Amino acid sequence: MHVLTILDHPDQASFTSAIAKEFCTGAEFAGHTTELADLHAEGFDPRWSIADVNGDSSGQAPEDVLAEQARIGRADAIGFVFPLFWWGMPAMTKGWIDRVWSWGWAYDQLEDPEISLQRPRTGVLLVPAGARSDEMDELGYTSAIETGWINGTFGYFGFTNRELILLNGSKGSKSRRENLLKRAHDAGAGLKFTR
Ligand SMILES: Cc1cc2nc3c(=O)[nH]c(=O)nc-3n(C[C@H](O)[C@H](O)[C@H](O)COP(=O)(O)O)c2cc1C
């Protein structure tokens, strides 16, 4: 199987970047081919623009969006790696999703998030977060994020297997971070496919 990893962090020496590398290494260990989309290094423009609006109505998406869609077309699984920012996605990931998973290509209606125009894929979200998991659970952030992303957004993209892995305590001790890196490796090595 082919695994595409979408990395959102401007610093290639960051913990988030290390998580993406471990996920890829784990997937390769399990015999999959991998491709890393380092959105900052590649200079992806996340701003939804008039070209995207016109693309929706004309069916002719901008070139950079077409290139990302071709990359998705090759993938059987997609891993998203981005830090939790203000209990949501950083602007780069948000914009990549807004622009690339477009109406008429990813989905054509909004009544049922289980119906997508895309073929079934596996989707995994690996999200470093500064907060502790018990804090997030107690205050309702974890369930809010699960609802928005797992029950909502990623269903429309045809992710029949989809999992949110919150990597809490990402600024914690060395052993804590090593543990989180191992979780990322295991997530890559243990990817499940519907077919
Ligand atoms: C702008 C910004 C917003 C953040 N918002 C949150 C947040 O809402 N919840 C949380 O748990 N951590 C939050 N954090 C902490 C990051 O998720 C955490 O530090 C993460 O490890 C950053 O990735 P890095 O270590 O690879 O740089 C935020 C950090 C920044 C810079």
Instruction: Say if 93 falls within a structural domain.
Output: yes
Percent of the chain with pLDDT over 90: 90
The strands making up 77-81's β-sheet, listed across from edge to edge, are 33-38, 2-7, 77-81, 121-129, 159-168
154: domain CATH number is 3.40.50.360
Instruction: Say if 195 falls within a structural domain.
Output: no
109: part of which helix (H) or strand (E)?
none
Average pLDDT over residues 162-176: 97
Amino acid in position 134: D
Q: Is 130 in the pocket of ligand 1 (CB under 6 A)?
A: yes
Average pLDDT over residues 95-103: 96
Distance from C-alpha of 168 to C-alpha of 107, rounded to nearest angstrom = 32
Domain that holds residue 80: 2-189
Instruction: Say if 194 falls within a structural domain.
Output: no
Average pLDDT, the chain: 96
Instruction: Say if 182 falls within a structural domain.
Output: yes
> What pLDDT sits at residue 59?
87
Q: Which of 171, 137, 139 is nearest to 16 (CA)?
A: 171
Q: Is 86 in the pocket of ligand 1 (CB under 6 A)?
A: yes
Q: Please tell me the distance between residue 65's alpha carbon and the centre of ligand 1 in angstroms.
A: 27
Distance from C-alpha of 62 to C-alpha of 55, rounded to nearest angstrom = 7
Q: Please tell me the distance between residue 146's alpha carbon and the centre of ligand 1 in angstroms.
A: 18
Q: Is 47 in the pocket of ligand 1 (CB under 6 A)?
A: no
pLDDT higher than 70, residue 175: yes
Percent of the chain with pLDDT over 70: 99
Distance from C-alpha of 116 to C-alpha of 20, rounded to nearest angstrom = 26
User: Of 59-63, 80-84, 139-143, where does mean pLDDT reach its minimum?
Assistant: 59-63
pLDDT tens per residue across span 22-35: 999 999 999 999 99
Instruction: Say if 37 falls within a structural domain.
Output: yes
Distance from C-alpha of 3 to C-alpha of 75, rounded to nearest angstrom = 6
- 40 vs 113, more confident: 40
Query: Residue 163 pairs with which residues in a beta bridge?
Result: 124
> What pLDDT sits at residue 114?
81
Specify the number of domains making up the chain: 1
Instruction: Say if 47 falls within a structural domain.
Output: yes
Distance from C-alpha of 85 to C-alpha of 128, rounded to nearest angstrom = 9
pLDDT tens per residue across span 51-77: 999 998 898 999 999 999 999 999 999
109-133 as b/e: b if 16+ CB within 10 A: eeeebeebebeebbbbbbbbbebee
> What pLDDT sits at residue 127?
98
Q: Please tell me the distance between residue 168's alpha carbon and the centre of ligand 1 in angstroms.
A: 10
> What pLDDT sits at residue 42?
98
